[in-house]
Amino acid sequence: MLAGQPSPPVPAPAWSRDRASVVTAAILLAIAAGAWVFVVSSSGRSHDGMAMGSTPPSLVDLAGFVAGWAGMMTAMMLPSALPMIALYGAIQRNAGPVTQGAPVAMFTLVYLALWAATGVPVYLASLLLSGLATEIVPYGVAVVLVAAGAYQWSPLKHVCLRACRSPLGFLLGHWRAGRRGSVALGWAHATYCLGCCWALMLVLVAAGAMGLPWVLLIAAVVAAEKLLPAGEWTARATGAALVCLGIAVATRPDLVTVLRAGHGM
């Protein structure tokens, strides 16, 4: 917490059971459910510009990709962010008029906007991958898998993961009064979440080609890392599995066909 900033009012122990918190959680879960409907319904379609031999990409292609990516990130990331967002809302309801900040909707939009913005570099990376010679692609995928697996064991990963796993500690340590401070708080939370999960999203693009099975698998891993008691060990186990998978792909390049089967978001 910054010097000179007022401490946030700590909510009552039953914050998760008050009516407003329940309504907030229900609304966010409904949004996430709608995003999952979108992801499943569009799982059989490929994004323009991502296939070999496609026409040169345009801004329309980029906009369409980013819109689809934003929907997918809403489905994958919003459920695991629910404890942080709900606790922020509970603190806001206990805040006085001087310390009250941005509403929960704005806090959530800042979080989702950062994840949506990552669609731009992801789109460019997808184009780069699709432009590689066919015989090189498996080794590129293997490098991504090994690098992502190693990151799962890195100190930076676990610093970011601890921030995501401890909503109250994060809010107490980063709280700033007022709407601008509250937006900055939402941005900080989104940045930690990005630092925690970016490597898994890279795996989703490179190895899974954003196929629905990979979307479901990585969403489950993200939720387990952030919400389950053994989340840090889940991250390490996932990292070990990714490294082993990367080595297997480098040894047997034909495995890429299996990994990327049924791709297309």
Length in residues, the chain: 265
Q: How confident is the model over 159-205, as pLDDT tens digits?
A: 999 999 999 889 888 877 777 877 888 899 999 999 999 999 999 98
Mean pLDDT, range 40-57, rounded to an integer:
58
Q: Both tokens of residue 252?
A: 């047997």
Residue ranges per domain, the chain? 15-259
What is the rounded distance in angstroms from the CA atom of residue 196 to the CA atom of residue 157? Answer: 5
Whole-number pLDDT of residue 153: 97
The full 3-state SS of 222-240, as one line of letters, equals HHHHHHCCCHHHHHHHHHH
- CA dihedral 247→250→255→259, nearest 10 degrees, is 70
How far apart (Å, rounded) are the C-alpha atoms in residues 263 and 199? 19
Which helix (H) or strand (E) covers residue 127, if one does?
helix 119-130
pTM attached to this predicted model? 0.83
pLDDT at 48: 39
Res 114 pLDDT > 70? yes
